[in-house]
Amino acid sequence: MALDYASDFSMSRQAMKAELLDAETELRLAYAWRDDRDEQALHRLITAYMRLAISMAAKFKRYGAPMNDLIQEAGLGLMKAADKFDPDRGVRFSTYAVWWIKASIQDYVMRNWSMVRTGSTSSQKSLFFNMRRVQARLEREAATEGQELDRHQLHQMIATEIGVPLRDVEMMEGRLSGSDFSLNAVQSSDEDGREWIDALEDERTQAAEEVEFNHDTEQLREWLLTAMKSLNDRERFIVRERKLREPARTLESLGNELGLSKERVRQLEAAAFGKMRKNLEAQSREVQHFIA
């Protein structure tokens, strides 16, 4: 931590010593980078406004991210701003760069807040950075007026205030209400030192379920084979080519091979399925009678 502080202080001190650019110099450097890709001009532009990036990074320290990382993200945002800045628009670079610096820092904070992605839409980002502040103000105003807001009322007022859907407010409330916990942490109530991961349900197929599934599959296979034996050779050929082959044969191709019309092949297929259905129903009744 002490090293981080020293590094932060050193970077801040170097940034404070950087030159202050007047509008004319700033414009000349911006043109040199945009038109000639002059890296020295880019370096001067970035260095001059690094103090702005560090100042903005400091505002996000309360989110728990290391200051060095925040400064690096702010620097990345500053470089993106320099790369996309159009000096012909008549806007000062510092004004343009503020948006890019802030966006870069906010994206970093949201990515590292939790292992679960906190959100990426504009409404989710607005909620993440403003929800607690707006909530505190609404609660203070309600208390001043002698009102007591329930959870739903408060969420609805926050959604209206920030201009986002109510469902986003409810989702963000859950995300901000707690931090990540390791599944390898020991349960406090467990005397044997069992970890939380040991309490998770095993999603693999259980032995009893696998045995039952294999038994049912084999039984179904035997029934289908018996049903197929009730068909004549031509019917078995049509069923096999239409239902047991990948890709399935078309009625037209089977008709050409058998010397039949497409409609006649369809009729034979329907008749074969009818025979198989009756055979399967008969086998099912025999099984039920045996069980009873």
Average pLDDT over residues 130-135: 78
pLDDT at residue 292 above 90? no
Query: Of 45-54, 58-67, 77-86, 192-201, which range is least confident?
Result: 192-201
Tell me if 200 is assigned to some domain. no
Average pLDDT over residues 92-105: 92
pLDDT at residue 16 above 90? no
Same domain, 149 and 169: yes
Per the structure, how many domains does the chain have?
3
Tell me if 194 is assigned to some domain. no
Q: In degrees to the nearest 10, what's the CA dihedral of 85, 87, 88, 89? A: 60
Residues 85/77, Cβ–Cβ less than 8 Å:
no
Q: How far apart are the first and last CA of the chain?
A: 77
DSSP 229: H
CATH of the domain at 61: 1.10.601.10
Tokens of 220: 């179904």
Same domain, 108 and 126: no
| pLDDT confidence band for 290 (50 / 70 / 90) | very low
Residues 224, 218: Cα–Cα separation, whole Å? 10
Same domain, 54 and 73: yes
Average pLDDT over residues 228-255: 89
Same domain, 76 and 137: no
pLDDT recorded at residue 291:
43
Average pLDDT over residues 96-100: 93
pLDDT recorded at residue 116:
47
Same domain, 77 and 107: yes
Tell me if 208 is assigned to some domain. no
Residues 205, 10: Cα–Cα separation, whole Å? 58
Map residue 210 onto helix, strand or coil: helix
Average pLDDT over the chain, rounded to an integer: 80
Same domain, 139 and 81: no
Express each pLDDT in 137-155 by its tens digit.
888 888 888 888 888 888 8
Alpha-carbon torsion (136, 138, 141, 147), positive or negative: negative
Same domain, 126 and 58: no
Same domain, 104 and 46: yes
The amino acid at residue 12 is S
Q: Which domain holds residue 86?
A: 2-113
Same domain, 94 and 132: no
Express each pLDDT in 166-188 by its tens digit.
887 777 776 666 554 555 566 56
pLDDT recorded at residue 179:
52
Longest Cα–Cα distance of the chain, Å, equals 98
Same domain, 146 and 71: no
